[in-house]
Amino acid sequence: MDAERIGAEEWNELQRNLEMSIPAYDRINRFATLGQVSKWRRMVQDRLPAEGRILEVGCGPGSFAEEVVGRDLVCLDPIPEMLRSAESRVNPKRAARGDSAVEFVEATAEDLPFDDNSFDAVCSLFSFRDWYDKRAGLSEALRVLKPGGIIVIVDPAKINRLHGVLGWLWMRIWVGTYARLVYSKSDHPWRWLTRTYSSFGTTRDYVRMLEEVGFTDVRAKVVFPGMATIWQGTSP
């Protein structure tokens, strides 16, 4: 496992732990981010086009999707149980608002089952670090974006490697202790998910990667050191 890829066995174990995280996903994320995660989701939504077709890669249990208003939304995740949880949570709320139902698709970021030039925006919220091949996934995102379409990613990148050590301690001690209380056992999902944080790269690593796969006007904003960086790029 490194800043670009996750090995096959590790990725399968990651999927198992992510599925186990569903019952406490939002609760622990709010604790881990000191309640800021909702603000960061709004920041992503503000960067998306007001109209058009949006793809969320790694939708998890629907935490972001339920807040997206008035857009044609497709949600993708490789874990069937995540999709079932998200659909039961998201589509009733969208129907009550008069929005169209979300299309939920089981697939990975590295093999998107969509035509070229089929989306106006692609977003990923706190799942980019879990892609098993980040460069391949970004290339796929670029392929399915229309010219001028944008990608928006938020994830807890490090400012530098030393900063990553402090982040690891935060995840291991602060978040890990709370997760142990929630799950009432030491072998909880966040213990394993700390590993994906530890191997995740720096803000600059992914600015460079976005540029190398072909995105233009790439920019990054550290909105909370160690917890949230927002990257944005444009399809040429």
Q: Is 106 left (phi over 0), alpha (psi -120 to 50) or beta?
A: beta
Higher pLDDT, 226 or 138: 138
Residue 5 DSSP label: B
Distances from the Cα of 202 to the Cα of 27, 58, 144, 155, 226, angstroms: 26, 20, 26, 10, 9
Q: Which of 62-66, 79-83, 171-175, 204-208 has the lowest mean pLDDT?
A: 171-175
Q: Show Cβ contacts of residue 177 under 8 Å, excluding neighbours closer than 6 positions.
A: none
Q: How far does Cα 39 stand from its chain's mean position?
A: 15
pLDDT for the residue 43:
95
Q: pTM of the entire structure?
A: 0.93
Q: Which of 78-82, 101-105, 162-166, 176-180 has the lowest mean pLDDT?
A: 162-166
pLDDT for the residue 96:
95
pLDDT for the residue 95:
95
pLDDT for the residue 162:
64
Residue 202 · residue 12 · CB < 8 Å = no
For the stretch 64-96, pLDDT in tens is 999 999 899 999 999 999 999 999 999 999 999
Q: How far does Cα 55 stand from its chain's mean position?
A: 12
pLDDT band at 4; cut points 50, 70, 90: very high
* Residue with token string 């998890």: 60
- What domains appear along the chain, each with residue ranges and CATH number? 8-163+200-234 (3.40.50.150)
pLDDT band at 117; cut points 50, 70, 90: very high
- Is the model's pLDDT at 127 over the cut of 90? yes
pLDDT band at 188; cut points 50, 70, 90: confident
Express as a percent the part of the chain with pLDDT over 90. Answer: 68
pLDDT for the residue 157:
78
**Rounded mean pLDDT of the chain?**
91
Mean pLDDT in residue range 4-22? 92
pLDDT for the residue 164:
64
- Is the model's pLDDT at 103 over the cut of 80? yes
Strand 72-77, strand 119-125: pairing? unpaired
- What is the rounded end-to-end Cα distance, in angstroms, of the chain? 31
**H/E stretch holding 39:** helix 37-47
Cα 158 from Cα 161, distance rounded (Å): 7
